[in-house]
Amino acid sequence: MTHSPLRWTSLAERDAMLAAAGATSRDPGMAAPSAATAHEDHAHAHDDVRTEASSGPAALDALGSAASDVSRRTFLAAAGFSLAGVLAGCGRAPTQSAVPGSTQPEETIAGISTWYATTCGGCAAGCGLIVRCRDGRPVKIEGLPAHPISHGGVCAVGQAQLLSLYDSRRLRRPTIEGKESAWKDVDARVVGALTGVRSAGGAVRVLTGTVTSPSTLAAISGFLDAHPGGRHVVYDALSASALLDAHEAAFGARILPRFRLERATVILGLEADFLGTWISPVELTHGWRAGRTLEGVPPKLSFHAQVESALSLTGSNADRRFRVAPGQLGSFVAHLAARVAAKAATSAPAPADPSPVPVEALDDLAGRLVRARGASVVLCGSNDLDVQRLVVAVNQAIGAYGATIDLSAPSFQRAGDDAALAALIDEMEAGNVAALLVAGCNPVADAADGVRLAAALARVPTRIGLAERADETTAGLSVVLPAPHAFEAWDDAEPVAGVLCVSQPLIRPFGEPRTLRECLAAWAGKPASDPALVRATFAKDVAPRAGGTTTPERLWRQTVREGFLALRPRPSGAKAYDAVSVASASPRATAPAAGRLALVLGPTVGMLDGRHAQNPWLQELPDPITKLTWGNAASVSPATAGAANLSDGDVVRVAAAEGGVFIELPLLVQAGLADGVVAIPLGYGRLGTDRFAGVGPAWIEARPTVRKGESVGRNVSGFLRLVGGAVAYAGREVTVTRTGARDALSLSQTWGSQDLPKALAPRGHERRDAVRETTLAAFSTDPAAGNEAPHVGADLWSRDHATPGARWGMAIDLGACTGCSACVVACQSENNVPVVGKDEVRRRRDMAWLRIDRYYADVPGSPGDVDVVHQPMLCQHCENAPCETVCPVLATVHSADGLNAQVYNRCVGTRYCANNCPYKVRRFNWFDYASPDSLADLALNPDVTVRSRGVMEKCSFCVQRLHEARAEAKRAGRPLADGDARTACQQSCPAQAIVFGDLNDPKSRVAALLRDPRRYRVLEELNVRPSVGYLTKVRHRDGPAKGASHD
Amino acid sequence: MTDHAHEPPWIRPGTTLRQVTDDVCGRLEGRPGRLWWGGFLLSLGMLGIGLVSIGYLFLTGIGVWGLNRTVGWAFDITNFVFWVGIGHAGTLISAILLLFRQRWRTSINRSAEAMTIIAVMCAGIFPLIHMGRPWFAYWVFPYPNTRGSLWVNFRSPLLWDVFAIGTYFTISAVFWFVGMIPDLATLRDRAKTGVRKAVYRALALGWTGSTRSWHRHETVCLLLAGLATPLVLSVHSVVSFDFATSVLPGWHATIFPPYFVAGAVFSGFGMVLTLMLVARKVMALEAYITKRHVDVMCKVLLAMGCIVALAYATELYMAWYSGNPYEQFAFRNRLFGPMGWAYGVMVLCNVLVPQALWSRRLRGNLLVVFGISLLVNVGMWFERFVIIAGSLMRDFLPSSWADYAPTLAEIGTLIGSFGLFFTLFLLFCRFVPAIAMSEVKATIAHEAHEAAPADGSPPPNAADRPGARAAEDALAGGAR
């Protein structure tokens, strides 16, 4: 019996399905244990009660197979169906209406949220989620607090998975040669083709991205066992191939080590954006944050240095940052290795070229790494095998393996092999592949040689693809099958050794998707559906590793309820360190020829490898560094731009010096880039993104977000190529020439510095101090360093806001905040913030209630280098709120719990409040912002009003969540405890930079933080008395505190 | 009034009372000329552009304007303050100058008051249409309601605006109409056709011209003048509170009330001059609006220009002296920032150009005066734009700094407000005596008396009749 040929026949049916969909509880730790099995029964039941009984033998089979375990519900449903059939036959028109929830499914109460633990499908990192469902549909994604990988954090991409679920462009039914077909026809055709291949001895290939699901891997290997000579080719669009290969050379096993940053006091990142995009950002952010708590004596603050050519989110958070062009990275690592070896009394090849960074800085860095032996780590994101080998040698020399780098319980979050994909393309071009199954990846768009692959596809007789959406790859396949969203299917994952994560369906699938497991099972002639397939692997492979004495059944229920299960990791196979194979050669420095620039390609926080290009939340999410939305741009440093006479918005032609690849893109002058480098984000320019042509309001002066037939941004993966068996993301020589055209950039922030324009700055007040910062040296002697109290004049305000109960307030730790923007999407999801489109962002009309201000500061004596700060900015809920006094109709007022409340239905839209807001956090509904997609309205939070045109809106401190928490406490008959009420931004922050609570409760965490000497309030001198406090940013540096003071 | 005898007369000598009636009424009774039609159609066209712009705005949303999350007001409130400012001269001329017994006002007060009322109507459009949900505009009035008795926010300057402008408009309109009653009666008496006669009869409110009527009329006029006088000062003070009570650097300034009043009078006189010079030529009113009128108004304009210049200088001084870095930056930015050109236009038009009026020769050159009056209007519009949009563009947090550029709909609305203004003004010229006949006649009589050898007998004009004299003395007493 298959799971997939199902459709809702009524809302009631869907509700019943959902009620059964796994463990249900408001608290994932306290779920009803019976739910998981209940779902299984219901899955069968609903299979059987399709009204489309005419859909053929498959349905009859299903009925037959379910007949053996007829439950009460199955019986009643079948009886109801029969009655309906009889009535339909009586000549009366069939009843079209559905009565949702008139008989309430168990555990679903209208208007009450239910929370389900599951696992994020946004990337291979495998973060734990709890998803809030209301009335049968997921409406909000949150982090699963106890999860051993994500620790309660969710990134921006994870948050946005909700909108990906409600996407009308997802594939719903299988197609054969572009024609919609039934699954049975697909199965027949595929089985027929595969039988032919097998008898002819043809080669079968399965091409996927990294797969962390044990059951899927088991299914693939089972499938390949049936096809002798078959191979599973794994590639990653954002490859860590060289990292894996280097560890294979050094330790005899191709494994991705797990980085334990929480154990590190010295962290060196080399082209590794581990806080933003690299491998597992939420996990690594948590670890990074754990070393920077500033607790204890001396204050706990790890030293983080970053070496990179482009400015990454991670680099923007580093204590020390070196700009090194891609051609110089190898030379840098060689010098570092030599110095570390000298200090640690090991050996390393002598560097061949001069060091790209000052020798003293290198010495200092090497000294720190060696002194912190066992607590230092080097993370390298370069995909150059020579560089990675040297980094392994450095990590070995500083004792990182076994301490800050875990080889015994490694990570599986990247398993791709660039060379394997290249070999596959060669095979295909030679006509040696008889059947290709592409599942869950889009290599034509995102792999090196994607163009060659697209052409080679035509030489494969049987081409099958399983994908959520039509994309560049499915365009070249003959059989295209719909894959489910992570919230529609059962799944398991072991992203890191010893942690099993489970996903459970949260909603009845839209359309008729099938998981890869189900497809392979069907084609192997042993059709089965999830969760049976997942559970089979669980019982056979997982449960024995869990230890303990519980039965697999109980263990499964527990795992579904909690979302994850700790296991004994399988032996990783890592052998003793083999020095000989590692420290072979010293990489040479290269530099582009005169007049050429070195190209650096990389992911952005929102788009990653482009798999989420169809998600408008992520398209509109300002890049944490560039603040660019809706597209990519070619970034060059101010010096490089000046030399080439380029400015923001110039459309430039970036052309590879060899190979004939070129692209035209707008230019963005980006501080902090290495000179002589042009950086372009990957992941844009995807097929079908012209669907967003209609995003944003239509009016006479509107420009479309994307023109019909074009795409959002430009795909630059054509510049990727294989160098030494690994995809080279950086270093390709290009020329950059101006085309003469202009394309205004849609930036959410245009003034990037706290420094006032030089010609206009009053003497002594050249810098605004919205963000205050200090050094570790200054902080150690004075915790209030860099945090001068401002002068607040005489107060004419009466303290007339009584807050008898709670008074809500927030503390934001700027030392912890990395700017990753998870909170921005969390807020958008929780509060129904609309998507406004490219042109509206360009007009500075983005609607974000919570934005992240990013400021650059020049580093004195180091031209071209910048310090970066990120500051989440939201309504400050001022006690003396300037907005409240000026509203003529009292549409914004103070609540008894200290909130500055906005009353939408009273607002007439004078915008006076926004003008008078010093923080400029109020957002006006310039138009009626329609949903970008017909299904997207299902993602709306039913607890939050959707604002109409002409009214002002702003952060409410998630007032609906406060009320829910209060009601829950009242129901439980206890007072509201600290931490009961959490705002959406706080909940998903991977760095736990945001703390929210009751300021009237002196024992609350927020009250304690607001007594911290680091606490300051932005624009305190205005005496608006904000309820949000910020903690100064402390950098691990020597020297005095930096920061402007007023008066 | 000391040296009237040595000055040329206010009204061209030899103008008889009958001639006044014929000159003023005759134009209303004949067919309008080609020039009037041309102007009227042009104005209607501009008004049409405005109506289309506003209609599009209502259908689509405030987003059709170039505003953004940082600049929440720009053309809308600039136009509002501009038109309110224009609306200042009329009441100043008719009320304050009446109390100060400035006889020259009689030739221009009617049209200046009409201009006031029309300008306030133009101004009133903007607070309405700038709302995101204009269909709920009535919520700004404190009326008993069933929404839990939701009240308005008496702390909001926008609410003060509602009252200040409402009061000002009401008093101005009543004052204007009451002053017009004798002239409407004249029109009624001259009217031939039924409709025309009926309308003017209704408007004349049964005026008989009896001594008692005249007495009451003069008394009411003076009382209304007394009521209107403080409003001249209060309206723009209250409008300035919109900005002065905010926290925004560049808005938050205690100098704003007098600064705005002076600016308003300045711009009002600029607009009166513009209109009078046109009307004088087009309607052949040279006999009534003489060069001497123009000369006096130029002096007022110059004086006001100097006050405005002083206000600008004070603002800059206070920014420096306050030691407030936000304030200092706001003004440096105003002068030298991205909108520095607008500040330049403002200083050029409002401070430098009016200095030409020190020259008696230039004051006598009507073309030059016309040009200056136009530039004053341009300059005063830019003053409001610089203050409103320029201050908003760069406030406290640099992350939110944003530029502003107007859209077609905003420009169309500005054009439309001028269209409305001129349409109504041209209708006024067609249907209402543009010159206060009764008052001009009094001036003629007064001048005839002053030109004649003094014989001690009381001058035979209406305003000096004993009853009126007493009231006038009573009200003007404080000023003496």
A770 touches chain B (CB under 8 A): yes
Q: Which of A495, A3, A453 is nearest to A205 (CA)?
A: A453
CA–CA separation, B469 and B275 (whole Å): 31
**pLDDT value of residue B7:** 63
Cβ separation of B67 and A886 shorter than 8 Å?
no
Q: Domain check: are A215 and A203 in the same one? A: yes
**pLDDT value of residue A494:** 93
Per residue in A722-778, pLDDT (tens digit) is: 988 899 999 899 999 999 999 989 999 999 899 999 888 888 888 888 999 999 999
- pLDDT of A99 above 90: no
Burial class (CB in 10 A: 0-12, 13-18, 19+), A803: middle
Residue A168 lies in a domain: no
- pLDDT of A395 above 90: yes
Q: Domain check: are A405 and A474 in the same one? A: no
B412 Cβ neighbours under 8 A, 6+ residues apart: B49, B50, B52, B53
A527 Cβ neighbours under 8 A, 6+ residues apart: A1, A2, A518, A521
Q: Domain check: are A91 and A103 in the same one? A: yes
Helix (H, G, I), strand (E, B) or coil at A102: coil
Q: Domain check: are A344 and A460 in the same one? A: no
Q: Show pLDDT as tens, one digit a residue, over chain B (480 residues).
A: 444 445 666 777 777 777 777 777 777 777 888 888 999 999 999 999 999 999 999 999 999 999 999 999 999 999 999 999 998 877 887 777 777 777 777 777 888 888 999 999 999 999 999 999 999 999 999 888 887 778 899 999 999 999 999 999 999 899 889 988 998 988 888 888 788 889 999 998 988 888 998 999 989 988 888 888 888 888 889 999 999 999 999 999 899 999 999 999 999 989 989 988 888 887 777 777 888 888 888 999 999 999 999 999 999 999 999 888 999 999 999 999 999 999 999 999 999 999 999 999 999 888 999 999 999 999 999 999 999 999 999 999 999 999 999 999 999 999 999 999 999 999 998 888 888 787 777 777 777 666 655 444 444 444 444 444 444 444 433 332
Q: Domain check: are A272 and A138 in the same one? A: no
Would you list the DSSP string of B274-343? HHHHHHHHHTT-TTTS-HHHHHHHHHHHHHHHHHHHHHHHHHHHHHHHH--HHHHHHHHHHHHSTTHHHH
Lowest mean pLDDT among A640-654, A891-905, B220-234, B398-412: B220-234
Q: Domain check: are A281 and A214 in the same one? A: no
- Count CB pairs under 8 A between chains A and B: 197
State the CATH number of the domain containing residue A954: 3.30.70.20
Tokens of A343: 């200090």
Q: Which helix (H) or strand (E) holds B470?
A: helix B466-476
Does residue A162 contact residue A627 with C-beta atoms inside 8 Å? no
Q: Domain check: are A363 and A319 in the same one? A: yes
* B150 interaction partners in chain A (CB closer than 8 Å): 889-890, 906
Q: How far is CA A1005 from CA A871, B210, B279, in A?
A: 20, 85, 74
Per-residue confidence band for A100, with pLDDT thresholds at 50, 70 and 90: low
Q: List, as ranges, residues 681-700 from A with C-beta within 8 Å of B.
A: 697, 699-700
User: Shortest CB distance from A762 goes to which of B61, B133, B329?
Assistant: B329
Q: How far is CA A728 from CA A247, A391, A443, A665, in A?
A: 18, 17, 16, 21
Residue A790 lies in a domain: no
Q: Which helix (H) or strand (E) holds A735?
A: strand A730-742
Residue A285 lies in a domain: yes
- pLDDT of A690 above 70: yes
Tokens of A1012: 């911290």
Half-sphere exposure of B162 (CA within 13 A, CB side): 18
User: Shortest CB distance from A844 goes to which of B70, B155, B157?
Assistant: B70
State the CATH number of the domain containing residue A315: 3.40.228.10
Q: Indicate the residue type of B91.
A: T
Sequence-ordered alpha helix ranges (H) in A772-881? 776-781, 822-830, 838-842
User: Shortest CB distance from B246 goes to which of A886, A948, A952?
Assistant: A886
Which residue is closest to B53 within chain A, CA to CA?
A700
A920 touches chain B (CB under 8 A): yes
Q: Domain check: are A191 and A214 in the same one? A: yes
Per residue in A983-1030, pLDDT (tens digit) is: 999 999 999 999 999 999 999 999 999 999 999 999 998 889 999 999
**pLDDT value of residue A164:** 93
User: Shortest CB distance from A889 goes to which of B73, B140, B246?
Assistant: B140
**pLDDT value of residue A7:** 36
Tokens of A225: 């066992």
Q: What is the DSSP pairing of strand A808-813 with strand A773-775?
A: unpaired
Provide, rounded to the nearest whole percent, the portion of chain A with pLDDT above 90: 66
Phi, psi of A417 (to 5 degrees): -130, 110
Chain A nearest CA to B129, separation (Å)? 9
Chain A nearest CA to B418, separation (Å)? 23
Half-sphere exposure of B346 (CA within 13 A, CB side): 22
- pLDDT of A464 above 70: yes
- For chain A, how many structural domains are there in total? 5
- pLDDT of A91 above 70: no
**pLDDT value of residue A85:** 56
Q: Domain check: are A196 and A304 in the same one? A: no
In this prediction the ipTM stands at: 0.89
Task: Among B52, B69, B410, pick the best mutation site for testing chain A contact (most A Cβ within 10 A).
Answer: B69
Per residue in A410-433, pLDDT (tens digit) is: 999 999 999 999 999 999 999 999
Per residue in A213-253, pLDDT (tens digit) is: 999 999 999 999 988 889 999 999 999 999 999 999 899 99
Residue A847 lies in a domain: no
Residue A963 lies in a domain: yes
Q: What is the DSSP pairing of strand A376-380 with strand A405-411?
A: unpaired
Residue A786 lies in a domain: no
A1023 touches chain B (CB under 8 A): no
Q: Domain check: are A214 and A69 in the same one? A: no
A573-577: average pLDDT = 86
Burial class (CB in 10 A: 0-12, 13-18, 19+), A649: middle
Among A720, A742, A764, the domain-final residue is A742
CA–CA separation, B236 and A697 (whole Å): 37
Q: How far is CA A275 from the centre of its chain?
A: 11
Q: Which helix (H) or strand (E) holds A599?
A: strand A597-602
Sequence-ordered alpha helix ranges (H) in A638-727? 638-644
**pLDDT value of residue A35:** 37
- pLDDT of A135 above 70: yes
Question: Which residue reads 């950039």 in tokens?
Answer: A745
State the CATH number of the domain containing residue A679: 2.40.40.20
Chain B nearest CA to A949, separation (Å)? 7
* A855 interaction partners in chain B (CB closer than 8 Å): 398-399
Q: Which of A676, A599, A668 is nearest to A864 (CA)?
A: A676
Q: Domain check: are A944 and A815 in the same one? A: yes
Does residue A439 contact residue A234 with C-beta atoms inside 8 Å? no
- pLDDT of A850 above 90: yes
Running DSSP on this structure, what letter comes out for residue A592? P
**pLDDT value of residue A298:** 87
* A754 interaction partners in chain B (CB closer than 8 Å): 398
* B395 interaction partners in chain A (CB closer than 8 Å): 918, 920
Question: Which residue reads 């905003």 in tokens?
Answer: B410
B189 Cβ neighbours under 8 A, 6+ residues apart: none
Residue A334 lies in a domain: yes
Q: List, as ranges, residues 784-843 from A with C-beta within 8 Å of B.
A: 840, 843
- Owning domain of residue A251: 241-411
Q: How far is CA A299 from CA A18, A302, A372, A461, A780, in A?
A: 49, 9, 16, 64, 7
* A922 interaction partners in chain B (CB closer than 8 Å): 69
Does residue B155 contact residue A892 with C-beta atoms inside 8 Å? no
- pLDDT of A491 above 80: yes
Q: Domain check: are A348 and A420 in the same one? A: no
Domains delineated in chain B: 10-450+459-475 (1.20.1630.10)
Q: How far is CA A434 from CA A229, A233, B387, in A?
A: 11, 15, 73
- pLDDT of A49 above 60: no
Q: Is the torsion defined by CA of A358, A359, A364, A366 positive or negative?
A: positive
Residue A399 lies in a domain: yes
- pLDDT of A832 above 90: yes
Lowest mean pLDDT among A20-29, A387-396, A419-428: A20-29
CA–CA separation, B297 and B308 (whole Å): 16
Does residue A392 contact residue A699 with C-beta atoms inside 8 Å? no
- pLDDT of A33 above 90: no
CA–CA separation, A128 and A29 (whole Å): 13
Which residue is closest to B147 within chain A, CA to CA?
A906
A645-661: average pLDDT = 91
State the CATH number of the domain containing residue A186: 3.40.50.740
**pLDDT value of residue A84:** 63
Cβ separation of A1019 and B333 shorter than 8 Å?
no
